[in-house]
Amino acid sequence: MDHGIKTVAVIGSGQMGGGIAQVAAVSGFDTVVYDLSGDALKRCKGLHDKLLSRAVEKGRMSEDDVTAAQGRLTYADSMSAMDNADIVIEAVVEDLDVKKKIFSGLADKFTGNQILASNTSSISITALATSVGDAADRFIGMHFFNPVPVMKLVEVINGLATSEETTARTIALSDAMGKVAVPANDRAGFVSNRVLMPMINEAFYAWMEGVAEPEHIDEIMKLGMAHPMGPLRLADFIGLDTCVHIMDVLAEGLNNDRYRACPLLKQLVVAGRLGNKTGRGVFDYSK
């Protein structure tokens, strides 16, 4: 199916939003990154420029291709920059109310055939779609993985009202962005986090109960299971607060206490040790 998309708008210029925008621009789409914060947009552009020059150094892209991709990128702190978008991909903080507020504004603005997509890692797509009224058939989950330029997967999640056309266009777009789209239904954590997070949570229990030191837990999973990162290092990479949040969504959504976040994981979050982003989580990144 033809996705019919020329312009991609991304809301949120953090790690995920920035990564999605970079991949869209490199794949030939006119791309708008919208964020309220001018500083966040500056950081996002800086990271794009750094990663794209690295792609040239590594021989993965020519200088001309990088210049063309940079030319397709617009960094905007005004919503009007998104007027021509054929799809809006939201990648802001994992908060139902914040996301719903954004989407209700988008539904008023985009009344044509535009797709409204959320990069949520665990919030119900059907619940988010209630904020867009009649546009619920154009609403879908498009879950990318960090680091977006490297990870091949897009988990595509249909809400109750998502139309077949929206799903097909989203899969075609993912394909055009060089990703592999895999469908999942709208249940807490979808597939990715339903399987990944309990493993990470269990690694915290193993550490808490003294089964092994954190570096040994990670080494066992890296060398024994061929994981690129051990579960505790991966938790730091994702953000320990995000891990707790996703466990809470699983516990509530699946109504089962076995998904409760490990007390040690929660304690690190209370201490402000959130992982890479604060310089310390399970491991110390300050040096």
Q: What do you get for the CA distance between the two ends of the chain, in Å?
A: 49
Cβ–Cβ under 8 Å, residues 208 and 264: yes
Q: How far is the CB of 152 from ligand 3HC (least distance, A)?
A: 10
- Judged by CB under 6 A, which stretch of 25-33, 80-88, 140-148, 263-271 contacts ligand 3HC? 140-148
Active-site pick, 48, 90, 119, 143: 143
Question: Does 198 participate in binding ligand 3HC (rule CB under 6 A)?
Answer: no
Residues touching ligand 3HC: how many (CB under 6 A)? Answer: 15
Question: Does 279 participate in binding ligand 3HC (rule CB under 6 A)?
Answer: no
Q: Which is nearer to ligand 3HC, 138 or 245 (CB)?
A: 245
Is residue 53 part of the annotated active site? The answer reads no
Question: Does 193 participate in binding ligand 3HC (rule CB under 6 A)?
Answer: yes
Cis peptide preceding 147, ω within 30 of 0: yes
- Rg for the chain, CA atoms, rounded: 19
Question: Does 234 participate in binding ligand 3HC (rule CB under 6 A)?
Answer: yes
Q: Which is nearer to ligand 3HC, 51 or 182 (CB)?
A: 51
55 backbone dihedrals φ, ψ, rounded to 5°: -65, -35
| Binding-site string for ligand 3HC from residue 202 to residue 221, where x marks contact by CB under 6 A and - marks none | --------------------
Question: Does 287 participate in binding ligand 3HC (rule CB under 6 A)?
Answer: no
Question: Does 228 participate in binding ligand 3HC (rule CB under 6 A)?
Answer: yes
Name the packing angle between helices 192-208 and 231-238 (round to 10°).
120
24 backbone dihedrals φ, ψ, rounded to 5°: -60, -45
Half-sphere exposure of 12 (CA within 13 A, CB side): 21
Q: In the range 38-57, which residues lie near ligand 3HC by CB under 6 A?
A: 51, 54
Answer for which of 199, 229, 251, 254 binds ligand 3HC (CB under 6 A) is 229
Helix (H) / strand (E) element for 73: namely strand 73-76
Where does this chain bind ligand 3HC (CB under 6 A)?
51, 54, 58, 121, 145-147, 149-151, 193, 228-229, 234, 238
- Residues with a catalytic annotation lie at 121, 143, 155, 193
